[in-house]
Amino acid sequence: MKRQHSVVGLLTLVATVCFTPVLAQTCKDADLLLRNGHIITMDSAKRIVSSMAVRDGRILALGDDDVLAGCGSSRTQMLDLQGQTVLPGLIDVHTHAIEWVKTLLRDEIDAGYPTVHAISDITQAIGNRTATLPQGQWIVGSGWDDSKLAEHRYITRQDLDSTSAGHPVYLKHVSGHMGVANSAALKLANITKATQDPQGGVIEHDASGEPTGILKDTAMGLIAGVLPGDPPDIDVRAARVVSEKAAEVGLTTIHDIYISPEEMRGYQDAHRRGWLKIRVQMSPRIGSIADAEKLAAMGVHTGFGDDVLKFGAAKMFADGGMGARTIAIYPPGVIGEPDNLGVLRWTPTEMQKAHLLAAGAGWQLETHAIGDRAIDEVLDSYAAVIKQLALKDPRFRIVHAGISTPAVQKRMHDLNVVVDGNPPFVYWIGSWFQKYGPERVRWSYPAKSYIENGIIEAAGSDVSVTPINPWWGIWAAVVRRDLKSGQILAPEERIPIEQALTLYTRNGAYAGFEEDRKGALEPGKLADFIVIDRDVLNVPADELKDVRVLQTFVGGRSVYDRLSDRPVQ
C-alpha cells in the first residue's frame, strides 16, 4: 500500500510541475473564472472539474481550483458556483421556434393539452372570442391533439360552426400536419365537395362527400393563402422572444427549421439589433423544385453567417405525421385503416432532383421522414446524390426517422446519415405510435439501437409539437414513459443519462458541423454553458424532467439568470 501511495504522489507532483508552467503562459487575464463547481465537461475523457477560465468568449482552461487560480487578474469576474453543476449549453437541432412564438404573439387560441381536455373547451374559447371580435374576423388557434381530447376524435367543421357565429375559424393540430377549418373558412378558401386533394395532401370528406373541415399536409396550404396577414415587425419581435425562451431552458443553440424568407429576415434583423441571446442555425425550406432552384441560385450555402446566426441545412418533407396518420409506411396500414399507407410529398425522381440541386450548391440536406417507406425513399435519393457528387462528409440528416426498423438503420449507418431524433415524442405523443401496431412501437425513436449500430443521433423538441424545454427530452430518453397510457414504450431503447446528454450536446454540435467549437467544454471551444439546480448524473431518473436552469452563458456572457429573471413555467 505504501509503495502505491508514493507512486500516486509522484505522478501528481509530475503532473502539477509539468502542467502549471504551461498553463501559466496561456491561462491568464481571464474575463471570467468559475470556481468551486461540479463542471461536467462532456469531453471524450468524461472529465469533471471544479474550475473553468473564459476569455474572449471562449474557454481558456479547465481544471481544479488551485491549478486555475493563476488564470485570474484584478479585472477577472469570479463566479463561486458553491458546488453547483455546470454542463455545456444544450443544442436543439429541430425546432419551429419562431413559428411557435408567433402563435403566442398573435394571441392565438391555445387548443393544446393541458389547457384543453375536450372539444367543448375549444368551442367555448371560440365562443368567448366572438363576443369582442368585429364581424368576419378570423379566429385562429393551434395545439389540439385528438388523442388527448375526451372525445378521442378529430374536431369537425360542425363542432366549430356551433359557436363561431359566422367568423372563419382555423385550428392547427399539434403535429403541424393537419388543421381543421369551419364552414366559413372553407368557403373563403373555396374548398368544396368537388375540390381535389393536392399532391401530398388530403381533404377529408364525410359519408355524404362533404368536406369535414380536416385538411392534412399540403391541403393545409389551401387555407394558408386566405389567413389574415401579420404585422410587418412580427418576425423580428418573435426572433427576440425565441432567444429569450431558449436561454431560459438552457438551450444555447437551436436549429430553426423550414423557415420562410420573412422569418429569416426577422432573425437577421434581431441579430443586427443585438437581440439574439443564443445561437441559431436557420434551415430554409424546399417545398418545390422551384424552391430548390432559387436556393441553389443564391450563391450561399450551409455554414454562411457567423457564430450567432448562420445557415444550417436545407429542409424538405418526404411524408406526413403520425398524428394526422399520413406517415408513409409499408403494409399493413394504420390500425383500423388497412389501406392507409400514408402520403409521399415527392415522387422519387423529383426528390432526387431537388436534393441534387441543393447539395450541388453546397447545402447540407435534412429531410423529414417518419414512416419507413418514406425513410427508404429519402435514403435512395441521398445515396444517389452522395455518389453523383462524390461527397466525402455530407452529414445528410433524416428528420424524425420515427419508424426506424433494423433494415433502415442498416442503410442509415452505411450512408453515415445523422438522425435528428425526438426523445420527447415518446412521452408527449407516444399514444400516436400505438395506432401503428406493436411491431412499429418497438422501432419508434430507438435511441439505444442507434448507439449500438453506430448511428449518430442528435435531438430536437420539434417545438411546438412538444415544449421547448429540453429536459423533457432528456428525461424521456432515459425513461420512455408514454404520458397517456403510463406505459414504458420499447423499454430496451432507454439510454443512460450520460448518453441522453450526448444527444443534446456533442451530437447536436456534430449534426450542425460545429463539433470544433461546441458540444463539450474544452479549451478553445465557445464558452456556452449552463448552471443547473442539481447533479444530473446522480439524481433519480424521474427528476430529470424537473431540472431547472439557474444561469445560461453564451460566449462567456450571462444571457439568463434565474435569480433575477422571471421563472420559467
Question: CA-CA distances (angstroms) from residue 404 to 17, 313, 446, 450?
Answer: 52, 22, 7, 9
**DSSP 3-state of 226:** coil
Q: Which is nearer to Zn ion, 423 or 555 (CB)?
A: 423
Contact call for residue 462 and Zn ion (CB under 5 A): yes
> How far apart, in whole angstroms, are the C-alpha atoms of residue 273 and residue 250?
22
Q: What is the DSSP string of 304-366?
A: -B-SSEEE--EEEE-S--TTTT----PSS-BTTBTT-----SS-HHHHHHHHHHHHHTT--EE
Half-sphere exposure of 565 (CA within 13 A, CB side): 18
Contact call for residue 92 and Zn ion (CB under 5 A): no
In angstroms, give the least distance from the CB of 257 to Zn ion: 6
Count other C-beta atoms under 10 Å from residue 145's C-beta.
20
Q: Which is nearer to Zn ion, 183 or 466 (CB)?
A: 466
Q: Nearest-CA neighbor of 71 among 32, 124, 98?
A: 32
Partners of residue 316 on adjacent β-strands: 367
Q: Which is nearer to Zn ion, 159 or 366 (CB)?
A: 366
Options 159-167, 201-209, 232-240, 456-464: segment touching Zn ion (CB under 5 A) = 456-464
Contact call for residue 145 and Zn ion (CB under 5 A): no
Options 134-142, 223-231, 459-467, 536-544: segment touching Zn ion (CB under 5 A) = 459-467
In angstroms, give the least distance from the CB of 65 to Zn ion: 43
Binding mask 98-137 for Zn ion (x = CB under 5 A): ----------------------------------------
Q: Which is nearer to Zn ion, 43 or 462 (CB)?
A: 462
Q: Which is nearer to Zn ion, 88 or 460 (CB)?
A: 460
Kindly compute the dihedral angle of the four CA atoms of residues 113, 117, 122, 124, in this order, to the nearest 10 degrees: -140
Options 45-53, 150-158, 319-327, 454-462: segment touching Zn ion (CB under 5 A) = 454-462
Binding residues for Zn ion, total number by CB under 5 A = 1
Would you state the cell numbers that stand for residue 538, as one nine-digit string? Answer: 446522480
Q: Which is nearer to Zn ion, 164 or 464 (CB)?
A: 464
In this structure, is the dihedral angle defined by the CA atoms of residues 417, 418, 424 and 429, taken in order, positive or negative? negative
In angstroms, give the least distance from the CB of 397 to Zn ion: 12
> How far apart, in whole angstroms, are the C-alpha atoms of residue 43 and residue 49?
11
By the 8 A CB rule, do 126 and 163 touch?
yes
In angstroms, give the least distance from the CB of 446 to Zn ion: 19
Find the binding residues for Zn ion in span 292-321 (CB under 5 A): none
In angstroms, give the least distance from the CB of 59 to Zn ion: 32
Q: Which is nearer to Zn ion, 420 or 522 (CB)?
A: 420
Residues that bind Zn ion (CB under 5 A): 462
